[in-house]
Amino acid sequence: MANKKAPIDFQALLDEVNSDFPVYQALDQDGKVVNEDLIPDLSDDELVELMTKMVWSRVLDQRSTALNRQGRLGFFAPTAGQEASQLASAFAFDKEDVLLPGYRDVPQLVQHGLPLTQAFLWSRGHVAGNLYPEELKALPPQIIIGAQYVQAAGVALGLKKRNKKNVVFTYTGDGGSSQGDFYEAINFAGAYHANAVFYIQNNGFAISTPREKQTAAKTLAQKAVAAGIPGIQVDGMDPLAVYTVSKMARDWAISGKGPVLIETLTYRYGPHTLSGDDPTRYRSKEMDGEWQKKDPLIRFRNYLVEKGLWSEEKEEQVIEQTKEEIKAAIAEADKVPKQKVSDFLKNMFEEAPQTIKEQIAIYEAKESK
């Protein structure tokens, strides 16, 4: 009996799903243009401003690491390597757009308007680090993996219902895309065509778990398909491609067409956080070396030098200015009064019940000695 042909070819279905997610790139790793269509319409001053922000972020990473090791900073998640993914994406949004960051997204938050002193206080776990200026359109960084996505979906729907021509933009890592909150958020935002741009910063590892062990999906961008929204992969070490894709996604979202999911292919040169992670246990020197060749600062620097817009002297000036800014901010943070147990108790309720009032009195008495 002849073999009967299967009526459904599941492999063909899978191949079709996996075939539509190219990686968009404007500059190669040497800073040469490979796709003119993705070169954004930015002025020379804007290009220099973007490079300045990226250099600022690299210095902030280096100084924050040193401050942490000195015991002057608390929790810190290194950002070196992700400057294009973080700063070039944020550069595409307006100050009235709402940023919902994760714990690695402090550079975007500061550039969006958070005073650096408060960012340092947040790292120390001080409540003052969460008391944002009213004009700052942002929430404090989420420590819970993926929780900012759910918050973003709600804020984005609020913007839509109030007919605001602004968007929410939010970030998670590749590990975050394996969380339930991730799926719930993109599904909710997609169903309501909410004004949101979701980023997955795919730096290859969820702490030490490689991306390929987290999911069978060939890309993380294709997870957008299930939510009925556009998903796109972009070279996350290429600031111009990241900016262009981000700008187009923002325009799409504010036009009422709904959210966009952007996967940026990037890399973190340091550990997951400075709280005990050792990347040498799960990453090889060869892997680090390959990604060092793709460094976003080198790539963008080469591009700007070729255009006559950047120089070693200018970069040194930015580095020194940033160091002075950080020095002043950490000194200001040092002046903020330390937190007391009585303060924690006072912050628990708007109207403290009798039991809490009694505890406040006990601790105030201890603290006054």
pLDDT tens for residues 235-248? 999 999 999 999 99
Band (pLDDT 50/70/90 cuts) for residue 6 is: confident
Q: What CA–CA distance (Å, rounded) separates 324 from 135? A: 26
Contact 113, 135 (CB under 8 A): yes
Q: What CA–CA distance (Å, rounded) separates 88 from 270? A: 20
The pTM is what? Answer: 0.94
How confident is the model at residue 74, as a pLDDT? 93
Point out the catalytic residue in the list 104, 268, 299, 301. 268
Q: Per residue in 254-302, pLDDT tens?
A: 999 999 999 999 999 999 999 989 999 999 999 999 999 999 999 999 9
Band (pLDDT 50/70/90 cuts) for residue 4 is: confident
Q: Does 3 have pLDDT greater than 80?
A: no
User: Could you give the percent of the chain with pLDDT greater than 90?
Assistant: 93
Active site residue 303: no
Q: How far apart are the first and last CA of the chain?
A: 95
Q: Per residue in 129-159, pLDDT tens?
A: 999 989 999 999 999 999 999 999 999 999 9
Point out the catalytic residue in the list 132, 183, 192, 282. 282
Band (pLDDT 50/70/90 cuts) for residue 7 is: confident
Point out the catalytic residue in the list 272, 283, 299, 301. 272
Contact 228, 236 (CB under 8 A): no
82: helix, coil or strand?
coil
Band (pLDDT 50/70/90 cuts) for residue 1 is: low
Q: H helices within the chain, ranges in order?
A: 10-17, 44-69, 83, 89-90, 106-112, 116-123, 147-161, 180-191, 239-252, 285-292, 296-306, 312-335, 341-346, 354-367
How confident is the model at residue 20, as a pLDDT? 83
349: helix, coil or strand?
coil
Query: Using a CB cutoff of 8 Å and minimum separation of 24, what contacts does 246-249 make?
Result: 246/88, 246/89, 246/91, 246/92, 246/93, 246/169, 246/197, 247/40, 247/92, 249/92, 249/197
Active site residue 268: yes
Band (pLDDT 50/70/90 cuts) for residue 18 is: confident
Average pLDDT, the chain: 96
Q: Does 5 have pLDDT greater than 80?
A: no
Active site residue 183: no
